[in-house]
Amino acid sequence: MSDPTGFDSGEGQGARNLPPLKLHVPEPPARPGEAADFTHFEIPPVGAQPRPDEAAAPADMRDLAYGLVRVLDEDGQTAGPWNPKLPPETLLKMLRAMALTRAFDGRMFRAQRQGKTSFYMKSTGEEAVSIGAALALARDDMCFPSYRQQGILIARDWPLVDMINQIYSNKGDRLKGRQLPIMYSARDAGFFSISGNLTTQYPQAVGWAMASAAKGDTRIAATWCGEGSTAEGDFHSACTFASVYRAPVIMNIVNNQWAISSFSGFAGAESTTFAARAVGYGIAGLRVDGNDVLAVYAATRWAADRARANGGPTLIEHFTYRVEGHSTSDDPTAYRSAEESSLWPLGDPIARLKQHCIAIGIWDEERHAAMDRELAELVRDAAREAEKNGILGHGLHHPMESMFEDVFEEMPWHLQEQKQQMLDEWKAAGL
């Protein structure tokens, strides 16, 4: 069965006197038990990237796809042309939304461990990506998120109880217990229904943006996917459409370095940046310090203004780090160096903004500690409130027959029949 030339050996190339070909399979710099190393990242100083006019041609701003837009420096000071110069209220709103997202993640992760739900995914260390963008967009712009942008809902002041009802799949869940926890849908918050199938939202966001343009609307779309997901075909189809029709869309790549156990090299990071994907499509591409909420805000604002002025799409890579496991089903110590997360060179987005707020005299440690306590209570109260509607598997769910609703607008005969069968079945079982 085996080919005599041998895939593995590279020997026996017949009469041809050529060196054997080699297959390159990427390997991350560090594995469990090894010292973490981020020295291969080039981190340009704050303020080093120029800020082109929103109308600039993509070809004139190629370098931005390979640099790193940064606003907040190591000492909590701001500098450079990307500084959005936000008023104190906005800075504090950002800080609060990021801290609330973290408190929410902490509580819901524990709830999963306590058996109150089946699954949870944290966004620890990536809060700036969602919060910065959400505050830079208009409230009625449509977001097509992946599963790690709970921060958008929180920044848009969506009720926590509503989010937790979804996580608990209880009778208060607006999605009737049909979706995996954290796969929210909140049309009124400009938050598109999340799919578990990676990157399907990308072309959908482009389609929404094209429709908005075709209708002469003023709203734009934004979408998010992980760096691992950029390998999916949908990502590339979306880029083509966005480029061809100059769709008013912002395409965000959250490069948190890991896709479950696969490091970013398996999505192509050894060869180029993810923002550079934009170059080949003739799209404006920005690479941003994803742990710098001011940089995220500034880049998103730039891209939004560009889209609103019919300048077309922007692709933004947010360079960040997934501090926690991929999900409650994951154990990151099995595949990455234990110390990696603590060595991440771009710091913690909340700590960085806090430091800035303190440095400019609008915040202090006491207020921050008090806020953390207040937010923990807020989340706890919301969780208790939601629990009154039930937790997963404890009987307080939507009526059984709701399973057959919304498959079609009107229920056809075969579903009517199956619905009756199920009800009879549960009655027969005495449940």
Partner 1 sequence: MNMIQAINSALDVMMDRDPDVVVMGEDVGYFGGVFRATAGLQQKYGKNRVFDTPITECGIIGVAVGMGAYGLRPVPEIQFADYIYPALDQLVSEAARLRYRSAGEFISPMTVRSPFGGGIFGGQTHSQSPEGIFTHVSGVKTVIPSTPYDAKGLLIAAIEDNDPTIFFEPKRIYNGPFDGHYDTPAKSWAGHPDAQVPTGYYRIPLGKARTARAGGALTILCYGTMVHVVENTVAAMGVDAEIVDLRTLVPLDIEAIEESVRKTGRCLIVHEATRTSGFGAELLAQVQERCFYYLEAPIERVTGFDTPYPHSLEWAYFPGPVRIREAITKIMKD
Binding positions for partner 1, rule: CB under 8 A: 1-3, 6-8, 23, 25, 27, 31, 118-119, 169-170, 173, 176-181, 183, 195-198, 228-229, 231-234, 259-262, 266-268, 329-330, 334-335, 392-393, 397-398, 400, 402-404, 407, 414-415, 418, 421-422, 424-426, 428-429
For partner 1, the closer CB: 245 or 335 = 335
Closest contact distance (angstroms) between CB of 234 and partner 1 is: 7
For partner 1, the closer CB: 28 or 312 = 28
Closest contact distance (angstroms) between CB of 236 and ligand TPP is: 14
Q: Which does 6 bind (CB under 5 to 8 A by kind): partner 1, ligand TPP, none?
A: partner 1
Taking alpha carbons only, the member of 298, 297, 299, 290 closest to residue 348 is 290
Q: Which does 407 bind (CB under 5 to 8 A by kind): ligand TPP, partner 1, none?
A: partner 1
Q: Which does 422 bind (CB under 5 to 8 A by kind): partner 1, ligand TPP, none?
A: partner 1
Closest contact distance (angstroms) between CB of 260 and ligand TPP is: 5
Closest contact distance (angstroms) between CB of 424 and ligand TPP is: 36
Q: Which two tokens stand for residue 200?
A: 């399907």
For partner 1, the closer CB: 334 or 370 = 334
Closest contact distance (angstroms) between CB of 227 and ligand TPP is: 5
CA 162 – CA 178 distance, rounded (Å): 15
Closest contact distance (angstroms) between CB of 40 and partner 1 is: 19
Closest contact distance (angstroms) between CB of 300 and partner 1 is: 25
Residue with tokens 């390159």: 24
For ligand TPP, the closer CB: 156 or 322 = 322
Number of neighbouring beta carbons within 10 Å of residue 198: 19
For ligand TPP, the closer CB: 165 or 257 = 257
Q: Residue 284's beta-bridge partner residues?
A: 314
Residue nearest to ligand TPP (CB): 226
For ligand TPP, the closer CB: 71 or 205 = 205
Taking alpha carbons only, the member of 397, 360, 398 closest to residue 72 is 360
Q: Torsion angle, CA of 393/399/403/409, rounded to 10 degrees?
A: -150
Number of neighbouring beta carbons within 10 Å of residue 34: 14
Q: Which does 92 bind (CB under 5 to 8 A by kind): ligand TPP, partner 1, none?
A: none
Q: Which does 180 bind (CB under 5 to 8 A by kind): partner 1, ligand TPP, none?
A: partner 1
Q: Which does 254 bind (CB under 5 to 8 A by kind): partner 1, ligand TPP, none?
A: ligand TPP
Q: Which does 347 bind (CB under 5 to 8 A by kind): ligand TPP, partner 1, none?
A: none
Q: Which does 261 bind (CB under 5 to 8 A by kind): ligand TPP, partner 1, none?
A: partner 1
Q: Which residues are CB-contacts of 302 (< 8 A; sequence separation ≥ 6)?
A: 51, 54, 82, 286, 314
395: left (phi over 0), alpha (psi -120 to 50) or beta: left
Q: Give the residues lining the site for ligand TPP (CB under 6 A).
A: 148, 196-198, 225-229, 254, 256, 258-260, 322, 326
Closest contact distance (angstroms) between CB of 414 and ligand TPP is: 29
Q: Which does 2 bind (CB under 5 to 8 A by kind): ligand TPP, partner 1, none?
A: partner 1
Q: Are 119 and 194 in contact (CB under 8 A)?
A: no
Closest contact distance (angstroms) between CB of 34 and partner 1 is: 12
CA 342 – CA 37 distance, rounded (Å): 11
